[in-house]
Structure 1
Amino acid sequence: MHKPLLAAVLAVAAVSPFAAKADENNQLDNFFVAGNLGQSNYRIGGISDKSDVFQNVRFGWRWNGLVGAEIGYAYLGQAKNTVDYATAYAKPRVGQLGVTAKYNFYNNWYVTGHGGYLRSRTTAGVTVGDVSASQRSWNNGWYAGAGVGYDVTKNVSLALNYDNYHVKYGRAGASQSQVNTNVAAYSASVEYRF
């Protein structure tokens, strides 16, 4: 079994007791939608691109307002490197499925954490003069993040966040190589709870 899938299964198993308790108390009313906007920071071999836009939207719920599950989609921008007349780039997009937690520690201030499995689709290519070539790759990976925020109202929160996405490109095999990279994302977010 693949490590990210195993991590997702273990996360669901860890959350199950909270879900059962919340269902007994009839408190499954913490559905949320969150949007992040910020900057991505690529760390791929010789490429160090810190200037691309990061966007993320997540949907989920938290039992008793504390622990729950989420699904989402993230646009990680584009890593780009130009040497002489050649430009290489990589553009990953990810779907994510994981667990989420929120804890109010003082009045309206809170900390959050989330993480889980991701499925990436990365388009990579190279351009030399007027000639271009590109290829897509689909792979599994993981993501994790943390944030600190403030509940503006009962339903609306603002936060500052750090997320890390572990993305792969290519196929692992005897004759093919696979590139592993971490994409760090710094963002501000808005969350609306129903």
Structure 2
Amino acid sequence: MARNMDFLVCLFIMALDIIAGVLGIQAEVAQNKVQNLRVWIFECRDPSYEAFKLGLAAVVMLCLAHIVANLLAGCIFISSKEELDRASSNKQLAAASLIMSWIMLGIAFILLISGTLNNSKSRNNCGISHQRQLSIGGILCFIHGLFAVAYYISAAAVFREERNPHQPPKPDQQPIPA
């Protein structure tokens, strides 16, 4: 039953990240539909309220996916080099994917928020062109989903290992004597 729930949680996390990524890319498309004047690297353009709404929804979905993954997976961390050397491969993978999911969250969040704020109603932008922030943030949402699911799966494996540290292998998984 727990493994079925693990599959559903992974599917939910990935769905949230996919929705966030698609919304970010759609926000970029909506932003590109507004009128702009471009000279070299400088551009003046009107804000797009549609891009603002889609970008904000992408940010919310990304944060929700990260919160779900971290709350349901728990906290796996390695505090020293010695602990890293003694840790199981599942724990090492959990720690690495946790760090990578936080990095992807940070970069995607900054790009999506920046692109969303550029489309705020109170702004008429004239300045250096900030192209593709929303779409790059959307693509990073997909990558965040992969790391978040990897973290959830490996953290669940670590908790199973810690709960049953000396559990013998199942009869169908017995090693064959040489």
Q: Rg bigger for which structure?
A: 2
Give TM-score, length-normalised by structure 1. Answer: 0.27
Greater relative contact order (Cα < 8 A, sep 6+) = 2
Higher strand proportion (structure 1 or 2) = 1
